[in-house]
Amino acid sequence: MYKILVTFLIFGVFQCDKQEVNAEKGMTGEWRYVGTFNHTTDYTCYVCSDFDYEKSSYRLTFNDDKYYTAKINLLIGKGEYITSIEKSENDHISGTFENLNLQILNKPFETEADSRFQSMFMEANNFVLSTNYNGHVYDELILGSNNIEYLLFVRK
């Protein structure tokens, strides 16, 4: 009986060491839009020194309960999302992203850039989340789709 109890105790300790990866918890918080980038172009600097975090006009705030709020310039929105993890490493998580709905709660003037951002955000079907990547100041979140462009966000 004692051996069985010790075996279960050891098995339980090893189970606690295994860390469960949860994309929603990693994405939680406010993300500021940096820009739209192209997979076919080699950028030397994504978040360059001239990027002003406070002046970013597009912001997404993800909650770990699979809801988000959005500030797209003057537009205010909310919605739901689903993620699933395909690959997880030390400081990188990647997987699928599904934007279930985006409801715009107000109707101010909408620019062409606002419309393009909304369209790309709604089409996004994958994500890459990098935390503390190479000692960068920001965590980075990429939302992309099957086309060659993707949206890049950062979080302090």
At 99, list the tokens: 């934007």
77 close to 104: Cβ distance less than 8 angstroms = yes
Which is more confidently placed, 148 or 41?
Answer: 148
Decide: helix, strand or coil at residue 69: strand
Decide: helix, strand or coil at residue 53: helix
DSSP 8-state code for residue 19:
P
Q: What is the pLDDT of residues 48-83, one digit of tens each?
A: 777 888 999 999 999 988 999 999 999 999 999 999
Q: What is the pLDDT of residues 4-63, one digit of tens each?
A: 433 444 444 444 433 444 566 789 999 999 999 887 876 666 777 778 889 999 999 999
Tell me the pTM: 0.80
Nearest to 105 by CA among 66, 72, 151: 72
DSSP 8-state code for residue 20:
P
pLDDT for the residue numbered 24:
63
46 close to 55: Cβ distance less than 8 angstroms = no
